[in-house]
Each structure stands twice: as structure tokens, then as C-alpha cells.
Amino acid sequence: MTLELQSEPVSLGGPNPHLDLRTQFPALNQSISGHPLVYLDSAATALKPRVIIEAVTSIWGRDCANIHRGVHRMSQRATERYESARERIRSFLGADDAREIVFVRGATEAINLVAHGYAMPRLGPGDEIVITGLEHHANIVPWQVVRDRTGATLRVVPVDDAGQVSTAALKNVLGAHTKLVAIAHVSNALGTVLPIQEMITLAHDAGAVVLVDGAQAVAHRPVDVSAVDCDFYVFSGHKLYGPDGIGVLFARRSLLESMAPYQVGGDMILNVTFEHTDYNELPHRFEAGTPSISGAVGLAAAIDFVSSIGFDWIEAHERRLLEACLEALGTVEGVRLIGSPAQRSGVVSFVLRDVHPHDLGTILDGEGVAIRTGHHCAQPVVERFGQVATARASFGVYNDLRDIDALIGGIRKARELLGQ
């Protein structure tokens, strides 16, 4: 059976409803092995639109100076753009205070900052950290380090056969000794959207603070940290159509004020003698050294970009792509979908019978189709479904139904080449 999909360009609402979003991404203006590039790897990193590239290069080309304390004009302009980016991110996340926004290199560093600055000094034997079975390695390994150094216990909320983590399952794991809960907003391996609002309420009722890993969420759905009432929220810029090497930690001001710096050195200090150092005020005490100034400015531009499109449009568009992809994959003999969560973001993991995902990915690359293969830095959840690796297609605003056509055509060709 061949599923015919209606192919049409991605358009952006507003003054020019026929604007093709693909034309805004220079990386898509290329061919791979003689085929137009079909990019279905946004969960690993999103492509960059021209406005973000221009924002980054404008720092390097015009305002290439270090921030804070510089009295010359270029330094003042760079500082203003850097701190304006912080305010833009505060607004985007719905935080109350720009001092609650800490720039880091990515979600991984943000989680490590919380692990070392908050959890390590507070936890001890008998205390418990709770995570879910859906987590990325970046939200597993730091808590293992805390466990090993403090004597605390690490507990895992199980994943059901659909690839979901229920509030009932979380409630069964929470207890009087739970001090911290760290959960993904969206699973990078399966696309599962976790019910974080209910989970946060349960964790708070148990007396725990909550960290939410939003790396796979912020490009696809609105986030309001005040509304969900989380204590920490982290994300990376490169999955939000922004630069790599930049990320954000949101943390309640009261928690940041109680935390020791994770790294020390320049720009996070007020005064240094050989006998004593006074640390800088929030949030600068957590931003040691020269930060990614261009990254912060590019991230703010990325937020403006997705905001101009609108999350109503983004969610509807990606839902359409997801439904079309799931339907089309269901027509290909030998394809097995991994996970079937009721609430799902634009991520589809699957395997092709008797074909290693790496081989499938290589054949698809020869057709110009870029997907991700492996355990996706989420080895426990992949193994939960009896696999060592899966193929993963993930969507961005630049994808359309033609890309689903190309993916399905490439999978069918792989079956033919491999004699299925």
C-alpha cells in the first residue's frame, strides 16, 4: 500500500501568509547525494534561520567587545545587547525577575550547576532524588554523581508500555525523604509530553524542589515557569533555532541566593584579595569568565523568531506532520513504532525489521534525508523497549509533508536494497 500525501510548502501567517519558511534557512539550500536536503533531525539540533545568523555576526562585526565594566562605546553596546537578551528570555519564560535567568553553555551545564550548587551541599544519606525513566543522560548522570558523593538515593519512576510516565507512578515513588525531582518536559527519544504541572504539584506536596529539563519543549510549545511553578527550568539555544554553546538556567531567586557558585573566576566577583573574595550579585555570580555574548544575542533573536510565527501555528503544524508521519510509517511493512504516548511532540522513533538503524540512516542519507540513529543519549528508555538503537525523525517549523514523502520513500528503498 502506498500512502499519497498532499505536499505543500510551509507558510507563515501574518502580513505575508504565503511566505515559505524554508527559504529562511540557508542550510536547506543544498543538495545531499544529488537530492534536496530533507532535515528531520531537529531534536538533535535545529537549523538556523538567516535572522539568527545575522544577529550573531552583527556582534562579531560591529560590537565585538567584552561586556561589563568596559567604558568604551563598543563594550557598552555589547553589554546592553547581552543584558537585553536576558530580559527577553525572562519574558519568554514568564519569570518574575531577570536575575533568575543564568546564561550557561546549554541544558547539560545548567543541570550540572544545580547538581553541584544546590543538591550537593544539601543532600546526604537517607535523602532521595527522583527522576523518570524517560530522561536524557544529561538528566541522569549528574544525579548519579550527587548520589555517589552524598550518600543520597536515586529513584526512578517507571515508563509504561506506551512510553509515558503517569502522575500515579510518580506518586508511588515520592516519599518523605524526597528532596529533589528532575523531570523532562518532553522526551527526546519518544516525544512524550510529560504532565509537568501535575508532577510539580505532587513533588511540592512531598516537600521536594523540581527541576524541569525543557530542552525538547521550548521550540515547540509555550513555557510559563510561573504558571507551572517549577523551581528550576533549563534549555539549550541550539534546539530553539539559536546558536550552540548557549543555554539558560531559570531558578527561583531565593534558591539562587542560597547556592554557591559552580565555577569561579572573572566577572563573577566583586572584590578579590589574596585572603578573600566577594562574589558578584545575581545572576552574574554564576557566569564565570567571558560568556557567549553572541550566543545570548542570537538566542534572543531566536525567541523573537519563534514568537513571530506563534506557538499556536507551530503546535498545529507539527501535530499535522506527526500524524502524517505516523500514518505513513504504518503503511511500511516491517516498521515498528517505539512508544505510543497520548501526548506527543514532533518526535517519532521506529525500527525496521532486520535492519540496524545505523544502516537505515546511511541509506536515507544517500537519499538526502537526515535522521538520527542510535540511543539518542537516552539509553535506558531505548533499552526499556528492547532495543539498542532506534531511528528517529524529528520536526521543525521548516518541515512539510514533502519531507514525510521523502522519508517514506527512503525507507522503502532501504527495504528494496536489503532484499526485504
Q: Residues 6 or more apart from 197 whose CB is under 8 A from it?
A: 227, 228, 229
Say how many residues make up the chain.
420
- pLDDT tens for residues 351-395? 999 999 999 999 999 999 999 999 999 999 999 999 999 999 999
Tracing cell 545548567 back to the chain, one arrives at 110
Q: Is residue 331 part of a domain?
A: yes
Q: Residue 300 falls within a domain, yes or no?
A: yes
Whether residues 299 and 335 fall in one domain: no
Examine residue 48 and state whether it is found in any structural domain, yes or no.
Answer: no
Q: CA-to-CA distance for 347 and 46, rounded, in angstroms?
A: 13
Q: Which of 307, 332, 362 is the last residue of a domain?
A: 307
Domain stop point among 307, 323, 340? 307
Mean local confidence (pLDDT), 252-273: 93
* C-alpha span between 149 and 394 (Å, rounded): 37
- Banded pLDDT at 420 (limits 50, 70, 90): low
* C-alpha of 209 from chain center: 21
Given pLDDT bands bounded at 50, 70 and 90, which one contains residue 266?
confident
Residue 161 to residues 23, 193, 257, 317, 347: CA-CA distances in angstroms? 40, 15, 41, 27, 17
Q: What is the structure's pLDDT at 189?
A: 97
Residues 6+ apart with CB under 8 A from 146: 115, 119, 120, 123, 129, 152
pLDDT band at 14 (very low <50, low <70, confident <90, very high): very low
pLDDT of residue 79: 96
Domain count for the chain? 2
Partners of residue 103 on adjacent β-strands:
248
2 lies in a domain?
no
Give percent of the chain above pLDDT 90: 92
CATH number of the domain where residue 276 is located: 3.40.640.10
Q: Are residues 359 and 410 in the same domain?
A: yes
Same domain for 36 and 129? no
Same domain, 131 and 256: yes
Residues of the domain holding 115: 53-307
Q: What is the pTM of this model?
A: 0.94
Structural domain contains residue 4: no
In this structure, are 262 and 327 located in the same domain? Answer: no
**Looking at the structure, do residues 301 and 181 belong to the same domain, yes or no?**
yes
The answer to whether residue 161 sits within a structural domain is yes
Top-confidence residue, 12 or 246: 246
- The average pLDDT across 222-237 equals 98
Residue 349 DSSP one-character state = E
Alpha carbons 248 and 225: distance in angstroms, whole number? 13
Q: Per-residue pLDDT averaged across 407-418, rounded? A: 94
> Do 228 and 297 reside in the same domain of the chain?
yes
Look at residue 5 and tell me whether its pLDDT is greater than 70.
no
> In the chain, how long is the greatest CA-to-CA distance?
76
Residue that the C-alpha cell 535506558 belongs to: 380
Residues 209-225 have a mean pLDDT of 98
- Rounded to an integer, what distance in angstroms lies between the CA atom of residue 326 and that of residue 223? 26
CA distance 178 to 152: 10
Q: Which of 64, 230, 325, 377 is catalytic?
A: 377
Q: Is residue 241 part of a domain?
A: yes
b/e code 33-69 from CB counts within 10 Å (16+ = b): eeeebbbbbbbbbbbbbebbbebbebbeeebebbbbe
**Tens-place pLDDT, residues 141-200:** 999 999 999 999 999 999 999 999 999 999 999 999 999 999 999 999 999 999 999 999
- Same domain? 319 vs 246: no
My answer on whether 233 and 122 are in the same domain is yes
- 391 φ, ψ (degrees, to nearest 5): -95, 140
CATH of the domain at 339: 3.90.1150.10
Report the C-alpha gap between 389 and 351 in whole angstroms: 8
Task: Quickly state the pLDDT bin for 19 (edges 50, 70, 90).
Answer: low
Do 394 and 320 belong to one domain?
yes
When pLDDT is cut at 50, 70 and 90, the band that residue 271 belongs to is very high
Same domain, 63 and 186: yes
Q: How far apart are CA 218 and CA 235, in angstroms?
A: 7
Domain boundary (283, 307, 331) is at 307
Closest CA to 11 of 407, 402, 397, 406: 397
Q: Is residue 221 in a domain?
A: yes
Instruction: Say yes or no: 331 and 243 in one domain.
Output: no
CA triplet 190, 194, 200: central angle to 5 degrees? 150
Per-residue pLDDT of 46-104, as tens digits, reads 999 999 999 999 999 999 999 998 999 999 999 999 999 999 999 999 999 999 999 99
- Residue 377 is a catalytic residue: yes
